[in-house]
Amino acid sequence: MSLPPLSRSPLGLEQRIEALQRFLAQIAVTHPDAAFASSLAAEDMVLTDMILRLKLPIRIFTLDTGRLPPETLVMLDRISEYYGQAVDVFRPDPQHVVSWVEQHGADAFYDSVALRKDCCRLRKIEPLQRALQGHSAWLTGQRRSQSVTRADLPLSEHDAAHEIAKFNPLADWSHTEVWAYIERFGVPYNALHDQGYPSIGCAPCTRPVAPGEDIRAGRWWWETPDSRECGLHVVDGKLVRSKT
């Protein structure tokens, strides 16, 4: 079954919500083993809320890198309490982390893009590979307007790294629409969003952004904008944008 794309034309919030409900429901039918990788940030809470409220058979998991802010980790308990359902958690291999830190240093990711990406590989990419085993599709909360690296983000694509389908249901949602949904349904969200963090990753790699700055300007702020991806959505140094 082919999935009809969400309209890229301007829509009202109600239409956005209805279109998203249809899209997620169709993904669940086409890929009953689909999994949603949640960062526990605002966009991901929109998808979490809809998946759990509609009781869709889409598994929700997150990656605990070992360097997440406490405000992010608290979201695991908030989701469990609010929705009555826990999020699966995948973590990096502790021995690999210890070896990496001993060899390079705990904060070596500040020294070079290569070391930073290697840290992301260890703490994010490897756990993601384990999380996606046995799944034919996965979902993300990425949006096109988040950064220059996501400007051409498709709603659906083929993930060449894992050889499965990949969906970005909020690709054409705006920042305003995300927060309108959160307010409309009273969705719990990360407290750091109220402290100037529109995008949240590992604590040492994330800072608040100044008014007018790009939404993801606080992620790996010491690097150039075109390198600010962790590798979860990159293969061989290039963003995977093979549309299906």
Q: Is 50 exceeded by the pLDDT of residue 176? A: yes
Is the domain defined by 13-239 classed in CATH 3.40.50.620? yes
Taking the CB of residue 74, how many other CB atoms lie within 10 A of it?
A: 15
Q: Alpha helices, DSSP H only, in 60-159? A: 70-83, 94-104, 113-120, 126-131
Share of the chain above pLDDT 90, in %: 74
pLDDT value for 211: 86
Q: Is position 202 annotated as part of the catalytic site?
A: no
pLDDT, tens digit (0-9, with 9 covering 90-100), for 58-112: 999 999 999 999 999 999 999 999 999 999 999 999 999 999 999 999 999 999 9
- Please state whether 95 falls in left (phi above 0), alpha (psi between -120 and 50) or beta: alpha
* pLDDT band, very low/low/confident/very high, at 220 (cuts 50, 70, 90): confident
pLDDT value for 151: 67
pLDDT value for 94: 97
Nearest Cα residue to 167 out of 46, 56, 18, 36: 36
Q: What is the pTM of this model?
A: 0.86
DSSP H helix total and E strand total for the chain: 7, 8
Catalytic residue among 120, 202, 205, 230: 230
Those residues with Cβ within 8 angstroms of residue 199's Cβ, 6 or more apart along the chain or in another chain: 41, 146, 206, 209, 215, 216, 218, 219
